[in-house]
Amino acid sequence: MPVDKPKAGESRDNYLNYCIPIEVEAGKEVSQAAAICNSYYDKDKMKGIKDTSSKVMASVVYNSKYRGINLQAAGLEDSCWPGYEAIGTKDMDGREVPNCVPIKE
C-alpha cells in the first residue's frame, strides 16, 4: 500500500507515526522504513521551494543526508523533482541513485 504524502502543515512526527508502520507492514526493516518516510517528508517540503538557488541547495542537503541509504526499496516513483521522472538508476559517487530526466511534454 503506497504511503500518502504529508498533509499541508503536518509535522514530521505525525507523518512518521503512520508512515513507518505502513512501510514495515510492506516488508521493510524499521530503519529502512524510517529512512524512506523521512525522505518522503523532506522531498515533499522541497516542492514548495521556488527560488532556483534554494532548490539546488535543498537538493544538495537532501542528497547528502540520504547518501549511502538505499531508498530504492521504496521504488522509483516519486523519486525525482516535479517535472522529472526516473528512468532506471545510475551510479553517482559509488552509490546507486535514480536517473532523473526531464519529462518530455
How many whole angstroms separate alpha carbon 40 and alpha carbon 88? Answer: 19
Mean pLDDT of the chain: 80
Count the domains in the chain: 1
Residue 82 lies in a domain: no
Residue 5 lies in a domain: no
Range of the domain at 66: 12-74
| Phi, psi for 95 (deg, rounded to 5) | -130, 150
Q: State residue 78's pLDDT score.
A: 67
Residue 83 lies in a domain: no
Using the predicted structure, report yes or no on whether residue 63 has a pLDDT greater than 90. no
Residue 28 lies in a domain: yes
Residue 22 lies in a domain: yes
- pLDDT tens digits, one per residue of 9-60: 899 999 999 999 988 888 888 888 888 888 889 888 888 888 888 888 888 8
Q: State residue 77's pLDDT score.
A: 62
Q: State residue 99's pLDDT score.
A: 80
Question: Residue 43's closest CA among 28, 67, 63?
Answer: 63
Amino acid occupying residue 98: P
Residue 32 lies in a domain: yes
Q: State residue 89's pLDDT score.
A: 77
Question: Residue 76's closest CA among 39, 47, 22, 31?
Answer: 39
Amino acid occupying residue 47: K
Using the predicted structure, report yes or no on whether residue 74 has a pLDDT greater than 60. no
Residue 101 lies in a domain: no
How many whole angstroms separate alpha carbon 105 and alpha carbon 84? Answer: 11
Residue 3 lies in a domain: no
How many whole angstroms separate alpha carbon 19 and alpha carbon 13? Answer: 10
Using the predicted structure, report yes or no on whether residue 92 has a pLDDT greater than 80. no
